[in-house]
């Protein structure tokens, strides 16, 4: 193994189809028109010296190191900014060029510390490399003034900025602009005074920097350097794997020293992220080796008892015997399991297989229940497949983008950067959100054309109004509808949506959005050449979540915005493997590939393959499990990678259900909140400790590769396999690739997927129907995936949620995510990311704050019909009057103490986004918080007692 550095071609690739042929140092090379001479040379193995150029950003032509000579041309043009042209004859090396380059390097080095041997970049420094490449042997200058005493900025927890080593090449500034789109850096001053400046000469932490690390990656010297490299030295080998955070699914090079991760570097060839990353993926991997990691199996009889560390054999046998005991006592259907989008496809697959074939019921569900289950339902009904329609790159061809109930720059930051790039190129933007997300006007050079600030809970009224405008103003793509859609359903929908009660004027009083704005935005969407919809949990986590997904699908079909690049319906999945965990048959009514458990052909096929009698009845969904537990009908739970005791709504109800079960088995890397209610703890493996695959929001199946030995001894799929065998259902996989082979053999849309193919292609997007397939970036190009191939329109009557504001609860609470933290925070709270967000805050509008005498940083009680909690206030006009907002990353916040048990009609996805509340100033935590803190401390004591007894 070696570090295998990625080749840097110096400038980005050209996408032109026309080719030009030229000669470089006597070698003939043919490249797409628009390719730089530098890149053309690099493509045939001729490396022209360079410093200010790198292939992730546009060329700048400032360092003058890459000069070349062109036959018949004048002077020495920079090869990075000079395009290759037909018939050129280029010389990259001769005496004259060498002298110029040495002169340039001499000037650079005259103001650079000569501490190469002790420098953190030693062995990975382009300045050092170039000094060698140009043959620099002496520095004749003895400058009176230098930058060698410039003060370091150590404010960022993950990287250091040492201006004494800066050559002012601007690569960091351009990476921040072009790659990330934050524009936090600039070159301040002129001439000798020029320096890289975060914001207005602030520290990195005080600037707008979002710590994506693009600048660190672009830096050719040790100026911007990961602190982990400073502390541990250069990595010696690299393994390509996939990020374990959001649904973008970025590809990374885990750069290692032995079994220690030194740094995570986004993979330039990553097809989802193209070499970019966010603060979580690049830097927040320290949780994997955090002191809180659990590495020993444990058991106990009751949650009042101390934990007892035991061997794997004892723990697994105990878990199996408890599950069997419960089945004998309460019936076969009294146990089940919950998988997680943090698990690999292979782990999820064998977990649901264990439950269906080993437990003998279909009581399996996944955390998509509480996020994107309405997407699965709505898109399956209308398009015939439970997935988004595009790849991420499609956004670069979108002329109009609608973002509904999503916050890409925080929740899906790498895709957010790509979207911002398209918007800077001129794409138009419509934001539909009760809150002002950064894309509205807080991202440089990006401004939404329309921000439709609707009232929480009125999505369906709004999408109906959009569609009403499109239908009544004849803005439909009639040819598409006629050719591609079910006409009977369309006719019915057309009549329904044209009714006056769906007009923008009629719905204005419901949504709070002026009719004129809706009409203008709908026209913009419908008349664009390519219009694309991106949405998030602000669409799904409502009592009409599925209806809204259907409404979005209806509108995309009516305008013909499907089946080609630049358009589509794109759910932004919250976690890395939401799509995959759903694909793998995690829902209680569906086998892998979204086939109903009662479908006789599918049922028979799985019975034959799994050699077990399977139930053809739907099992319990997660909220049904809780209800059944309180009824003593569901008494044993196997929960892998999911923290239901923090993430699920009406949490006091969840806690009561967990307390009432006789055996809760938690498999996780930490003693999470759910584990505090558990009887068996099986230590899990982080994404760095296992192999498998994740499937991102664009249906891309990417490899997860083990880079270190599992701290607890087993990968998670091995633990599930041990439990299956102990339950008496044999599983004998030797490697996750064998699990994928089984998935492919039983799932038509995965038929052509194998580890071999993923290794060969880097990743692959399903559907992938046969071995020859290389995947499907764009779905429904010729027909939809319903049985008749036609898109189905469905009626979407607006039904107001029963959760309404009142005199007692006059405000509506809605929830969301922040860039630096991730979901329940189990991972990011155990990293330096807390430097950005150390607690959940309640955002409240100045008017509502003033009415209640609340100021920023005050403690406020938030009371709903379900419960009460206390958070610190942040007074801001990002939220509209009448609406308050919080994140849910910290268990002690108790955000889900106040959310209710309302849920989506079709899927029971909780209505997290609408809770009627009252806010008041308080001076102490809520009763729940005090009680839960005591419970939590007691549980940690019981853990401590168990460990100290070993």
Residue closer to another protein by CB (options 103, 618) is: 618
Residue selected from 121, 167, 400, 906 as contacting another protein according to rule CB under 8 A:
906
Residue closer to another protein by CB (options 435, 790) is: 790
Compute how many residues bind another protein; rule: CB under 8 A. Answer: 32
908 is a site residue for another protein (CB under 8 A): yes
Ranges within 626-655 binding another protein (CB under 8 A):
627-628, 630-631, 633
901 is a site residue for another protein (CB under 8 A): yes
Helix (H, G, I), strand (E, B) or coil at 332: helix
Candidate ranges 90-98, 231-239, 623-631, 643-651; the one touching another protein (CB under 8 A): 623-631
**Shortest distance in whole angstroms from residue 654 CB to another protein:** 14
| CA–CA gap between residue 934 and residue 84 (Å, rounded) | 70
Candidate ranges 249-257, 477-485, 898-906, 920-928; the one touching another protein (CB under 8 A): 898-906
Residue selected from 797, 850, 877, 941 as contacting another protein according to rule CB under 8 A:
797
Provide the sign of the torsion angle of the four alpha carbons 315, 321, 325, 326, taken in this order: positive
Q: With contact defined as beta carbons under 8 Å apart, do 764 and 700 qualify?
A: yes
Residue selected from 330, 859, 905, 935 as contacting another protein according to rule CB under 8 A:
905
| CA–CA gap between residue 696 and residue 361 (Å, rounded) | 28
Q: What is the four-CA torsion angle of 116, 119, 123, 127, rounded to 10 degrees?
A: -60
Task: Please report, for the chain, how many H helices and E strands are present, in that order.
Answer: 31, 34
Q: What is the DSSP letter of 275?
A: T
Residue 4: CB atoms within 10 Å:
12
Residue closer to another protein by CB (options 38, 620) is: 620
Token code pair at residue 672? 């999470």
Token code pair at residue 653? 């109800």
Candidate ranges 215-223, 657-665, 789-797, 853-861; the one touching another protein (CB under 8 A): 789-797
Element (H, E) at 495: helix 487-497
Total count of residues recorded for the chain: 950
380 is a site residue for another protein (CB under 8 A): no
Token code pair at residue 300? 């106990």
Residue closer to another protein by CB (options 162, 494) is: 494
Residue closer to another protein by CB (options 493, 733) is: 493
Candidate ranges 64-72, 132-140, 756-764, 905-913; the one touching another protein (CB under 8 A): 905-913
Candidate ranges 87-95, 173-181, 624-632, 866-874; the one touching another protein (CB under 8 A): 624-632
**Shortest distance in whole angstroms from residue 618 CB to another protein:** 6
Residue selected from 36, 251, 586, 796 as contacting another protein according to rule CB under 8 A:
796
Token code pair at residue 817? 């995510």
Alpha-carbon Rg of the chain, whole angstroms?
A: 29
547 is a site residue for another protein (CB under 8 A): yes
In sequence order, which residues have a C-beta less than 8 Å from that of residue 347 and are 6 or more positions away? 339, 640, 641, 692, 716, 717, 720
Residue closer to another protein by CB (options 668, 901) is: 901
Q: What is the four-CA torsion angle of 725, 728, 730, 735, rounded to 10 degrees?
A: -20
788 is a site residue for another protein (CB under 8 A): no
Ranges within 805-834 binding another protein (CB under 8 A):
none
Find tokens 């038509």 and name the residue. Answer: 748
Q: With contact defined as beta carbons under 8 Å apart, do 448 and 428 qualify?
A: no
102 is a site residue for another protein (CB under 8 A): no
Residue selected from 249, 619, 636, 894 as contacting another protein according to rule CB under 8 A:
619
In sequence order, which residues have a C-beta less than 8 Å from that of residue 931 and are 6 or more positions away? none
Residue closer to another protein by CB (options 417, 896) is: 896
DSSP string for residues in 555-595: HHHHTT--SSTT--EEE--SSTTHHHHHHTT-STTEETTTE
Residue closer to another protein by CB (options 366, 693) is: 366
Candidate ranges 134-142, 284-292, 320-328, 790-798; the one touching another protein (CB under 8 A): 790-798
Q: Name the nearest CA neighbour of 573 among 247, 339, 242.
A: 247
**Shortest distance in whole angstroms from residue 556 CB to another protein:** 19
**Shortest distance in whole angstroms from residue 633 CB to another protein:** 7
**Shortest distance in whole angstroms from residue 623 CB to another protein:** 8
**Shortest distance in whole angstroms from residue 200 CB to another protein:** 53
Half-sphere exposure of 199 toward its Cβ, with a 13 Å CA cutoff? 9
**Shortest distance in whole angstroms from residue 628 CB to another protein:** 6
Residue closer to another protein by CB (options 296, 369) is: 369
**Shortest distance in whole angstroms from residue 729 CB to another protein:** 21
**Shortest distance in whole angstroms from residue 559 CB to another protein:** 21
- Give the x/- contact pattern for another protein in 462-501, rule: CB under 8 A: ----------------------------------x-----
Provide the sign of the torsion angle of the four alpha carbons 937, 938, 939, 941, taken in this order: positive
Is the peptide bond between 767 and the residue preceding it cis, with omega within 30 degrees of 0? yes
Burial class, 740, CB count within 10 angstroms (exposed 0-12 / middle 13-18 / buried 19+) = buried
**Shortest distance in whole angstroms from residue 332 CB to another protein:** 12
Strands (E), 59-107: 69-70, 89-91
Cα separations (Å) of 541 from 223, 311, 466, 552, 899?
A: 45, 41, 20, 15, 11
Residue closer to another protein by CB (options 589, 603) is: 589
Residue closer to another protein by CB (options 599, 892) is: 599
DSSP string for residues in 392-458: GGGGGG-SEEEEES--HHHHSHHHHHHHHHHHHTT-EEEEE-SB--HHHHTBTTB--SEEE-PPTT-
Residue closer to another protein by CB (options 566, 867) is: 867
Q: With contact defined as beta carbons under 8 Å apart, do 251 and 237 qualify?
A: no
Residue closer to another protein by CB (options 374, 560) is: 374
Residue closer to another protein by CB (options 48, 461) is: 461
* Crossing angle for the helix pair 736-746 and 345-353, to the nearest 10 degrees: 70
Find tokens 């080796």 and name the residue. Answer: 289
Residue closer to another protein by CB (options 362, 827) is: 362
408 is a site residue for another protein (CB under 8 A): no
Helix (H, G, I), strand (E, B) or coil at 498: coil
624 is a site residue for another protein (CB under 8 A): yes
Residue selected from 487, 761, 799, 934 as contacting another protein according to rule CB under 8 A:
799
Ranges within 548-607 binding another protein (CB under 8 A):
588-589, 596, 598
Residue selected from 211, 394, 543, 570 as contacting another protein according to rule CB under 8 A:
543
Residue closer to another protein by CB (options 576, 903) is: 903
| CA–CA gap between residue 792 and residue 780 (Å, rounded) | 13
330 is a site residue for another protein (CB under 8 A): no
Candidate ranges 509-517, 678-686, 795-803, 927-935; the one touching another protein (CB under 8 A): 795-803
195-198 and 185-188 strand pairing: antiparallel
Ranges within 45-74 binding another protein (CB under 8 A):
none
**Shortest distance in whole angstroms from residue 631 CB to another protein:** 6
Candidate ranges 53-61, 605-613, 794-802, 854-862; the one touching another protein (CB under 8 A): 794-802
Binding site for another protein (CB under 8 A): 333, 363, 496, 543-544, 546-547, 588-589, 596, 598, 617-621, 624, 627-628, 630-631, 633, 795-797, 799, 901, 903, 905-908
């Amino acid at each position: 193994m070696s570090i295998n550095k990625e080749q840097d071609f110096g400038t980005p690739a050209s996408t032109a189809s026309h080719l030009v042929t030229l000669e470089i140092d006597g070698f003939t090379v043919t490249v797409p028109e628009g390719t730089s001479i530098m890149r053309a040379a690099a493509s045939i193995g001729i490396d022209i010296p360079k410093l200010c150029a790198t292939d992730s950003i546009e060329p700048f032509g400032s360092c003058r190191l890459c000069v070349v000579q062109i036959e018949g041309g004048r002077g020495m043009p920079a090869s990075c900014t000079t395009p290759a042209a037909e018939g050129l004859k280029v010389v990259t090396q001769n005496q004259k060029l060498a002298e110029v380059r040495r002169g340039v390097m001499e000037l650079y080095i005259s103001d650079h510390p000569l501490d190469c041997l002790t420098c953190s970049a030693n062995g990975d420094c382009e300045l050092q490399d170039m000094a060698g490449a140009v043959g620099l042997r002496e520095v004749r200058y003895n400058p009176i003034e230098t930058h060698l005493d410039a003060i370091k900025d150590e404010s960022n927890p993950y990287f250091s900025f040492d201006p004494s080593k800066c050559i002012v090449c601007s690569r960091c500034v351009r990476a921040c602009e072009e790659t990330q789109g934050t524009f936090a850096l600039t070159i301040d001053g002129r001439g000798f005074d020029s320096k890289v400046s975060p914001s207005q000469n602030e520290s990195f932490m005080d600037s707008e920097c979002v710590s994506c690390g693009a600048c660190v990656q672009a830096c050719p010297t040790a100026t911007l350097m990961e602190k982990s490299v400073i502390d541990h030295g250069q990595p010696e080998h690299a393994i390509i794997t996939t990020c374990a955070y959001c649904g973008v699914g970025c590809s990374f090079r885990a750069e290692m020293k032995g079994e220690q991760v030194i740094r995570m570097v986004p993979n330039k060839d990553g097809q989802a992220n193209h070499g970019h990353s966010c603060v979580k993926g690049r830097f927040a991997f320290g949780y994997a080796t955090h002191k809180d990691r659990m590495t020993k199996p444990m058991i106990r009889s009751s949650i009042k008892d101390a934990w007892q560390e035991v061997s794997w054999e004892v723990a697994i046998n105990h878990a199996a015997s408890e599950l069997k005991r419960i089945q004998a006592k309460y019936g076969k259907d009294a146990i089940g399991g919950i998988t997680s989008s943090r698990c690999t496809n292979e782990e999820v697959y064998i977990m649901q297989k264990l439950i269906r074939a080993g437990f003998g019921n279909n009581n399996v569900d996944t955390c998509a229940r509480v996020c994107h289950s309405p997407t699965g339902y709505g898109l399956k009904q209308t398009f015939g497949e439970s997935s988004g329609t595009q790849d991420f790159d499609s956004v670069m061809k979108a002329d109009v983008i609608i973002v509904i109930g999503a916050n890409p720059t925080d929740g899906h930051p790498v895709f957010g950067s790509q979207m911002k790039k398209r918007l800077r190129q001129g794409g138009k933007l419509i934001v539909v959100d009760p809150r002002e997300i950064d894309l509205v006007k807080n991202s440089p050079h990006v401004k939404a054309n329309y921000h439709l600030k609707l009232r929480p809970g009125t999505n369906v009224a709004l999408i109906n109004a959009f569609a009403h405008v499109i239908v009544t103003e004849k803005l439909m793509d009639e040819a598409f509808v006629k050719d591609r859609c079910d006409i009977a359903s369309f006719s019915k929908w057309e009549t329904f949506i044209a009714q006056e009660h769906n007009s923008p004027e009629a719905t204005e009083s419901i949504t709070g959005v002026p009719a004129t704005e809706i009409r203008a935005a709908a026209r913009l969407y419908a008349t664009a050449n390519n219009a694309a919809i991106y949405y998030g949990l602000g669409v799904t986590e409502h009592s009409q979540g599925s209806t809204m997904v259907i409404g979005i699908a209806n509108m995309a079909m009516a305008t013909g915005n499907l089946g080609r690049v630049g358009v589509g319906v794109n759910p932004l999945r919250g976690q890395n493997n939401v799509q995959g965990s759903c694909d793998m048959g995690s829902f209680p009514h569906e086998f892998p590939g979204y086939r109903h458990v009662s479908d006789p052909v599918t049922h028979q096929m799985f019975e034959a393959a799994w050699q077990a009698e399977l139930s053809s009845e739907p099992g319990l969904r997660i909220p049904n499990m809780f209800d059944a537990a309180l009824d003593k009908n569901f008494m044993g739970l196997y929960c892998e990678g999911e923290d239901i005791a923090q993430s699920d709504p009406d949490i006091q109800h969840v806690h009561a259900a967990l307390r009432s079960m006789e055996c809760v088995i938690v498999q996780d890397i930490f003693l999470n909140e759910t584990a505090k209610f558990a009887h068996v703890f099986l230590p899990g493996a982080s994404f760095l400790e296992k192999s498998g695959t994740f499937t991102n929001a664009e249906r891309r199946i990417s490899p997860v590769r083990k880079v270190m030995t599992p701290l607890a001894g087993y990968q998670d799929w091995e633990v599930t396999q041990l439990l299956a065998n102990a339950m008496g259902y044999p599983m004998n996989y030797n490697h996750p690739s064998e699990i994928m082979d089984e998935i492919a053999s039983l799932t038509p849309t995965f038929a052509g997927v194998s580890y071999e193919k993923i290794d060969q292609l880097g990743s692959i997007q399903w559907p992938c129907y046969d071995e020859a397939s290389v995947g499907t970036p764009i779905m429904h190009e010729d027909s939809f995936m319903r049985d008749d191939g036609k898109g189905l329109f469905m009626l979407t009557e607006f039904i107001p949620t029963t959760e309404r504001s009142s005199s007692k609860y006059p405000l509506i609470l809605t929830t969301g995510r922040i860039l630096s933290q991730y979901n329940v925070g189990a991972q990011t709270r155990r990293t330096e990311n807390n430097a950005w967000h150390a607690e959940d805050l309640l955002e409240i509008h100045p008017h509502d704050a003033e009415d209640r005498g609340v100021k920023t940083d005050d403690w406020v009680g938030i009371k709903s019909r379900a419960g009460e909690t206390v958070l610190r206030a942040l007074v801001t006009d990002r939220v509209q009057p009448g609406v308050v907002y919080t994140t849910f990353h910290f268990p002690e916040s108790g955000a889900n103490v106040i959310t209710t048990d309302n849920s989506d009609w079709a899927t029971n996805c909780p209505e997290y986004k609408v809770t009627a509340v009252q806010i008041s100033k308080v001076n102490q935590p809520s009763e729940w918080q005090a009680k839960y803190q005591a419970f939590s401390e007691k549980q940690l004591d019981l853990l401590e007692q168990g460990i100290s007894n070993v």
